[in-house]
Structure 1
Amino acid sequence: MNLKALQLFSSIMSLGTLSRAAEAHFLSESAASRQLSVLETELGFKLFSREKRSLIPTPQGRKFYLEAERILYGLNDLPEIAEIIKREQKSSLRLIAIPRLVRPIVSPAVARICNEDPELQVKVDVQAMRYLQRWVAGFQFHIGVGRLPAEHPSIVTRKFCSLPTMVALPRGHRLANRSELTLDDLEGESVVSLLKDTHLRKNIDSIYQAEGRTLRASVEVSSSYSAGCIVASGFGITIGDPFIVPSLGKGELEHVPLKTDFRYDFAFFEPAQGQLLETTKLFTQHVEEVTREYIQEHGFE
C-alpha cells in the first residue's frame, strides 16, 4: 500500500477537501485525485462518495480512517524515536491509558516519576480500550493502563486492582446516603448507560440478567465519562466502576456500592515480546502505590 496515498487520505479527512489536501502535499488536484482512486482500487471499496465536487466519507472510509491514523501516528513519531536512539537517551516513557484512569491514577503516577527524574521524557496518550491494546501490541507504547479483559493475542496483562460496582448519582439524590443499593432500589430511576456493543454495557447487562431483569437505558453513550457528565448535569443514574466519579472532579457526583458479585479488574497491558524498561517498571510501581492510596481513601474493598 502506498504510504503517500495513505497520508493524502488522512489529510483529506482532517482538512475537509481534496484541494486543501493536495496543496498540503504539493500536488495538483488531479494528481491527488488519481492517488486517491488508486488507493480505493487497492482497498476494494470507496473511501468517499462524490457529491457536487465534494468528498463525503463513506462508512467504510470512516472506519478505515481510524486504522490509518493508528499507523500514521506511529510513523510520525519515528523521527523523535530515532533522535532519542541517536542521543542514546534511555530516560523515556511512552504510555497509553483509558480516559477514566487518567485523573485519579495515571496523572499522579506521572507526576511522581517526573519529580523523581526531571530529565525523563514522558508521552501520554488517552484512548479507548480497543485502540490501547492494538497500539501497545504494535510497540507504539511501552505500556498501557486499562481494564480487563485483554483480547489481543500479542498482549500480556498484570492486574493491579479489582474494584466493586458502583452506582453514580447526582448530588443530593434521594439514594445518595445509602450504604448499599440493589436493583430493586433503582426501579423507576432513569439509567444512563453505555452503548450495547461495549464491554462495559455487556457487564452491566449481565448484572441485570442474573436477577432476571433487562436494563432499559434512557440514554446510551460511548464512554463512562459521558455517562457521568449527564448524571452530574442532573439526569438519571449510571452504573460502573468507582473511577467514574473522580474523573469528573470532586463533588460532581456521589457514588454508592451496588449489591453484586461483579467486580472491575484493571491491569497493565504490555507487549508479549520484549522486556520492560526500568523506567516502565518504576512507573508501574507508582501506579500501584497511587491505586492503594485511592482505595484506602475511598474505602473500597
Structure 2
Amino acid sequence: MNILYLSAFRAIMLTGTVSAAAELLGRSQPAVSRLLDKLERELGVALFERRRGLITPTSVAQLLLDEIERAYVSLDSLKSFAARVAEGESSRILTAAMPALALQFLPRVLGEFRKEWPNTKVLMNVTLSVKVEEWAASQQIDLGLAETPFRRSGFRAETFSDFPYVAAVPAGHPLAGKARLEPADLADFPFISWAPFTSAGQLVAQAFRSCGVKHEPAYETNVSAATYEMVKQGIGVALIDPYTAVAGLDERVRLIPFSPAIPFNVGLLRPESRPANRALEALLDLMAAERDRLMTRLPR
C-alpha cells in the first residue's frame, strides 16, 4: 500500500477538508483528491460520504485512522532510532562473557557506560567460554569474552588479557606468609581445582605435572566465584583467575603469586558480520580501562 495514499487520508481526517489537507501536505487539492480516490479503489470501500462539496468520514474511515495512527507512532520511533544510529548510538549491544568476567568485571564497566550512553541497552549473557565462541561464530552477539583457545571461525579474535592466575589461601593458613607458591607447596593441603574439561583445569594439571607433583584435587568446580568462596570459608587453597581474585578482595583470603605462571588467556571476540558503532567502541574502551586499573592490584 502506497504510504502517500495513507498520508493524504490521514491529513483529511485531521483537518476535516481536502483543501486543508492539501495545504498541510504542500500539494494541490486535485492531487490530494486523486490520492484519496486511489486509496478507496485499492481498499474497495468508501471512506467518505460526499455531499455538496463536503466530505464526511464513514465508520470504516474511523477504524482505518486508528490503525494508521499506530503505524505513525512506529514510524516516529523508527525515525528516532535512525537519528541515534546516525549519531553513532546503537539501541542495544548483545554481549556474552564467561562468568569470571561477567559477574563483577562487566557490571563495573556497565556502570560507567550507562553514564555516557543511557539510551543504549546492553544484554549480557553469562555462559561458558565454549558457548560464547559458538554465539560469536553464529553472529548472535556483538562482542564476547571467552577463554582461549578457539576452534571455530566467523569472528575476529584478539587478546583481551593474559594476566596470570594467583594462589588464594585462607588468612592464617600455614602458607599465608609465603611470598610465592609452587605446586609442591599446595600438595599437602586440600586443593580446590577446576573441572578437568575446562581450559583452566587442564593448565593447572599440566603445571603440577611439569613440576613432578601429583595433582589430586579435593574439590572441583567450573566457576571462579564458587572456588573463591570456598577459600573464604577455609575449605582449601586454590588458583583463582586474576579478575575474580582482585574484584573479590577479602580480608579472609591472602592472594599470593604462583609459579610456574599460568596465564589466564581471555580473547575478545567480534563477529565478522556485525558492524561496529560508537556505542560499542565506547564500551570496549571502558573495558580496557577497567582491566588496566584492576590488574595493577595483582600481587607481584
User: For this structure pair, what is the TM-score category when the shorter chain's length is used for normalisation?
Assistant: 0.5 to 0.7
Residue by residue, what CA displacement relative to the aligned partner does 1:54-105 show, whole Å, maximum 9, x if unpaired? Answer: xxxxxxxxxxxxxxxxxxxxxxxxxxxxx98784464221111111113442
Q: Distance in 2 between matches of 1:244 and 1:169?
A: 14
C-alpha displacement of 1:291: 0.7
1:107 partner SS = helix
Give, in whole Å, the separation in 2 of the partners of 1:205 and 1:84: 55
In the other structure, the counterpart of 2:135 is 135
Q: What does residue 257 of structure 1 align with?
A: 257
Map of 1:117-156 to 2, 5 A cutoff?
A: 117-156=117-156
Structure 2: which amino acid aligns with 1:156?
R
Partner of 2:194: 194
Paired AA for residue 223 in structure 2: S
Aligned-partner Cα distance in 1 for 2:289–2:158:
15
The answer for the alignment partner of 1:180 in structure 2 is 180
Shift of 1:246: 4.2
In structure 2, do the counterparts of structure 1 residues 249 and 143 end up closer, same or farther at CA, with 3 Å as the change threshold? same
**1:177 Cα deviation (Å)?**
2.8
Q: Using a 3 Å threshold, how does the CA distance of structure 1 residues 291 and 189 change in structure 2: closer, same or farther?
A: same
Which amino acid letter does the alignment assign opposite residue 170 of structure 1? P
Inter-partner Cα distance in structure 1 for 2:274 and 2:168: 40
SS of 2:285's equivalent? helix
1:1-301 → structure 2 map (5 Å cutoff): 87-88=81-82, 90=85, 91=90, 92-246=92-246, 248=248, 250-299=250-299
Decide whether the 8 Å contact of 1:158 with 1:269 is kept in 2: yes
Q: Secondary structure at the match of 2:206?
A: helix
Gaps of 5+ in 1: 1-82
Secondary structure, aligned partner of 1:284: helix
Identity of paired residues, percent? 17
Distance in 1 of aligned mates of 2:162 and 2:189: 27
CA change 1:203–1:118 in 2 (3 A) is same
The whole-number CA distance in structure 2 between the counterparts of 1:153 and 1:84 is 36
Residue 200 of structure 1: SS of its match in structure 2?
helix
Which segments of 5 or more consecutive residues in structure 2 lack a partner in the other structure? 1-75
How far apart in 2 are the matches of 1:192 and 1:85? 52
Deviates more, 1:288-297 or 1:220-229: 220-229
CA spacing shift, 1:93–1:85, aligned 2, 3 Å = farther
Rg larger for: 2
SS at match of 1:263: coil
Shift of 1:152: 1.9
TM-score (norm: length of structure 2): 0.66
Aligned to 1:15: none
Paired with 1:130 and 1:213, the residues of 2 have a C-alpha distance of 29
Displacement after TM superposition at 1:252 (Å): 4.8
Partners in 2 of 1:261 and 1:100 — Cα distance?
A: 18
Pick closer, same or farther for the CA change 1:97–1:252 going to 2, 3 Å: farther
Structure 1 residue 160: Cα displacement? 2.3
8 Å Cα contact 1:102/1:247 also seen in 2: no
**SS at structure 2 position matched to 1:151:** coil
The answer to whether the 8 Å contact 1:136/1:269 transfers is yes
TM-score by length of 1: 0.66
CA contact (8 A) 2:242 2:295 kept: no
